[in-house]
Structure 1
Amino acid sequence: MPPPAAIVDPEIDAVEAELLRLDPSGDRVARVLRETLDQLLDGRRRGRWSYTDLHKTEKTYMGTLVEINLHREFDFADGDDTDYQIAGVQVDCKFSQKIGGWEFGPELVGHLGLVVWANDLQSIWRAGLVRASTGILRESTNRDAKRKLTQTGLAQVRWLWDSHPGLEPNQILQMDPIQRERIYSAGPSGQARLDQLCRELQRVILRRTTVETIGWGLVDPLKRMRANKGARDNLRPEGLLVLGHQDNDPLVAAALGLPRPTKGQFIVCRVVPAEVGTGAEISGTWWRPAELEDPVVSAPVVPRRISTVYPRVP
């Protein structure tokens, strides 16, 4: 069966062009969705990391937050009967955890919908435009007289940013359940959980939200990843370097062949002494990422002030 014919709609064309002008790659929309999910989970204060942990009312509020946060991000003009006015066109924002789950009230019939969907477990999202015409809305309604798209209506959605790589991952949700259990059973304190997080997830960027959620209950979870009785000091005898975004840390990460942390991020790596000119030079000695069979050696102390000497990248 041939694909459905493209819908000719100059207003959809205009809104699509404006959205792609404002966000050519889709990165801004993806960031808003990631931040909105994190905002609702509220990991730092509540310790929650899964959408299933939310109350029913919170899940309902997700759509409102997406609408508000997109409004703030793009500074759209207010609509009359709709949420936004984009390129002079009335557009209403609809979010759902399911493709096709968007509901349109009677006042929105005939208007454009910016329909948005996200799946935190798979780190995927989609956004598109559709005109909520009577002919593509189901006859059945809910108690608020809202209607969903028919299959024909779903086929008429003009999807945007199809090539976007996806949401920044929810590291705790997507973690191996055995690793997650070890982290949460490491001890009653947030510090014990953070130390175990560093042992479990090495050589990958640890997101700020991940650290704050694992360390919930602490006044400053990010501080507890650093020195002064934090993870950096606690794990040095185990050979683990805990690197952040400050001082020499990003240079050390790059010299070790690791991603560079940016503000609020960390990366952990077990290191062992290396031959001169191999890996990173830290305080006059050379270090490389450890292999599984390498013996455990206490990790070096990375100088806290920016240095033009250490580390050196061959």
Structure 2
Amino acid sequence: MLRLDPDGSRMGAVIDGAGRHLLDPAHTGRYLWSQLTKGEKTGLGVAVGHRIQRELGLADGLHLDFRVVGHEVDMRFTTGGNWMFPPELQGGLCLLVRADDASGQWSLGLLRVRPELMRTGANRDGKRGLSAQGRSAIHWIHRDLPLPEHALRQLPADVVAAIFAKSSGQARTEELFQQAQLTAITTADLSAVTMQLDGVKRAREARRRLASRGVLILNGTHSRDCEWASALDLPVLAPSIWMSVRLTPAPQHDDSPTITLNGIPWRVARPGDPETPLPTAVLR
């Protein structure tokens, strides 16, 4: 597993992708796993297993989920602190996946399931969770790695409520970029606030409209935007990431990082700086 995914980036993307697929933000406006129905939460583990198998090219198992270097392996998924094991898994190898979008972390471990590692009590199906001894027996492959970030998960609840209070997808997009400045915004965030498949189109329109308020919207697919982000000492922009920042003309003898627009240096605005429309050059 480490050879196939040394830093865990493939697994993290798979887990996040499975969650986004079930949330279906473009049609539902949902952005948190807690918004899934009970049935969808059950399907999340199944979706993660199928996507892991496809992403890493693992062969089907004869009795368990798949094979890893010839070993039959079952996959168990939880968003909590424990997993449930049916009686037929005793003695078998399990890949244990734990993920929680509230904390933004995920882990992957390996365990040989044995009776002495189980709790004494079982549910109606005979499934039992791990005891404290069982949890300590997990061989962790990746532990507490970050899930891909999404702005709507990080923003305060009142800010998110203000965004969704707007009556149109375009208005919600513009509110997102104004409220979440200097925050990485993903296409999933855009889909959720627009509740449309053309969230990127709304972001492009927001770029034009918010420039009149001094807000510059950057996108990592454009080399010029990445150069501007670097010059302003902003976080590196990944190709699919959007970020907004309010700018203001830089006064003389200001040593802040700047970019030059229409021959004038601009820096990141501070709370007391007045709104100054950006030059039309940034819209091209």
Q: Calculate the TM-score normalised by the size of structure 1.
A: 0.83
Aligned to 2:98: 117
The SS at the match of 1:20 is: coil
Pairing 1:241–2:216 present: yes
Runs of 4 or more above 6 Å deviation: none
Q: Deviations over 1:206-227 (max 9, x none)?
A: 12211111111x341111111x
Residue equivalent to 1:273? 249
The Cα offsets for residues 236-295 of structure 1, whole Å up to 9 and x where unpaired, read as 111101111225222122222212433332111111112589511124332111111111
Secondary structure of the equivalent of 2:199? coil
Indicate if the aligned counterparts of 2:214 and 2:248 stay in contact, CA closer than 8 A: yes
1:167 aligns with 2:147: yes
* 2:199 counterpart residue number: 221
Q: 1:46: which partner in 2?
A: 28
Aligned partners of 2:226, 2:92: CA distance in 1, in Å? 49
Per the alignment, do residues 37 and 219 of structure 1 end up closer, same or farther by CA in structure 2, a change over 3 Å counting? closer
The 8 Å contact of residues 106 and 145 in structure 2, kept in 1 or not, is answered as: no
Residue 202 of structure 1: CA displacement?
0.7
Unaligned runs of 5+ in 1: 1-18, 306-314
Post-superposition offset of 1:55: 1.0
Say yes or no: does 1:207 pair with 2:154. Answer: no
2 CA distance for matches of 1:220 and 1:111? 46
The alpha carbon displacement at 1:85 in A equals: 0.8
Give the SS at the match of 1:160: strand
Residues 1:135 and 2:119 aligned together: no
- Greater percentage in strand: 2
| C-alpha deviation, 1:188, in angstroms | 1.2
Question: Is residue 9 of structure 2 the alignment partner of residue 27 of structure 1?
Answer: yes
Asked whether the 8 Å contact 1:272–1:289 carries over to 2, the reply is: yes
Aligned to 1:188: 167
- Cα deviation, residue 183, structure 1: 0.8
The separation in 2 between residues aligned to 1:21 and 1:294, in whole angstroms, is: 51
| Secondary structure at the counterpart of residue 231 of structure 1 | helix
Q: Could you tell me how far apart the structure 2 residues matched to 1:282 and 1:249 are?
A: 13
Contact 2:149 2:184 survives alignment (8 Å): no
Cα shift at 1:168: 1.9
Partner residue, 1:291:
270
What are the superposed Cα offsets for residues 186-212 of structure 1, whole Å, 9 maximum, x if unpaired? x21011000000110111221221111
Task: Could you tell me which runs of 5 or more consecutive residues in structure 2 were left unpaired when the two chains were aligned.
Answer: none
Partner Cα separation in structure 1 for residue 251 and residue 150 of structure 2: 37
Match of 2:157 in 1: 177
Name the Cα RMSD after superposition. 2.0
Any idea what SS the aligned residue of 1:295 has?
Answer: coil
Query: In the alignment, what sits opposite 2:135?
Result: 154
* Secondary structure of 1:23 counterpart: coil
Q: Distance in 1 between matches of 2:155 and 2:283?
A: 31
Whether 1:56 and 2:34 are equivalent positions in the alignment is: no
- Letter matched to residue 262 of structure 1: A
Matched, 1:262 2:241: no
Matched, 1:103 2:84: yes
CA contact (8 A) 1:248 1:304 kept: no
CA separation in 1, counterparts of 2:280 and 2:228?
11
Offset, 1:93 = 0.5
Structure 1 residues 52, 116: closer, same or farther in 2, change over 3 A?
same
Q: Distance in 1 between matches of 2:155 and 2:103?
A: 12
- Tell me which moved more, 44-53 or 244-253: 244-253
CA offsets per residue over residues 282-311 of structure 1, 9 Å max, x none? 243321111111111001234577xxxxxx
Give the AA of the match of 1:127. Answer: L
CA contact (8 A) 2:26 2:192 kept: yes
Structure 1 Cα separation of the partners of residues 262 and 19 of structure 2: 41
Cα distance in 1 for partners of 2:176, 2:163 equals 6
2:222 partner letter: Q
Question: Could you tell me whether the CA contact under 8 Å between 2:104 and 2:149 is conserved in 1?
Answer: yes
Task: Tell me the amino acid that sits aligned with residue 213 of structure 2.
Answer: E
Return the offset for 1:144: 2.9
* Counterpart selection for 1:252 from 203, 207, 228: 228
